[in-house]
Structure 1
Amino acid sequence: GWLEDNPEVRATINRWAQQLVLNAIVPNRKEIGAFISEVIARWDTTTLIDKLELQVGKDLQYIRINGTLIGGLVGLGIFMVDRLFA
């Protein structure tokens, strides 16, 4: 509660956090990215799918449905154009 009631302390903590990111993370972003890529590259397909479903959750089902519908419509459009001009 004291942090919520004290905007000066919040501002100071935000400045410190920004400096930490600028000083520690930004200069090492290539190494951090390489580390993350290496970890993900070691995952098998089942692990990758499980982690994606855990993070994305219900949205993944909507993405699959949308992908199916859009893919079907694009395929139908290509088929129709092919039939019209064939």
Structure 2
Amino acid sequence: MAQPKDGDSATHMHEVLLEAFCYENDIYVIKVDDATKMSRILGQDSVESCCLVQKVWADAPEEQLTKAENQLVDYCEAHWDAPQQPIVQLPAV
């Protein structure tokens, strides 16, 4: 999720509801500093405020994560119950 622009109350409410849904359904949420940077990293023309990234598992009996994926999961689990999620500063791409 990217930070909404100041004064954009509709997007803010949308994000609050989306975060609540994700929390209730055990979906990790990572907040980032800028939607434009997130769009570039994902190779998209534009991402308005959030995107859903889904891991497609191979037909393996057990989950096999890369080191980067494990770090991402560890980060999400470490901040799962935080009253306020930290905002990840994305690199300029």
Bigger CA radius of gyration:
1
Q: Which has the higher contact order (CA 8 A, sep 6+)?
A: 2
Query: Which category describes the TM-score, using the shorter chain as reference length?
Result: under 0.3
Higher share of residues assigned helix:
1
Select the structure that is richer in strand: 2
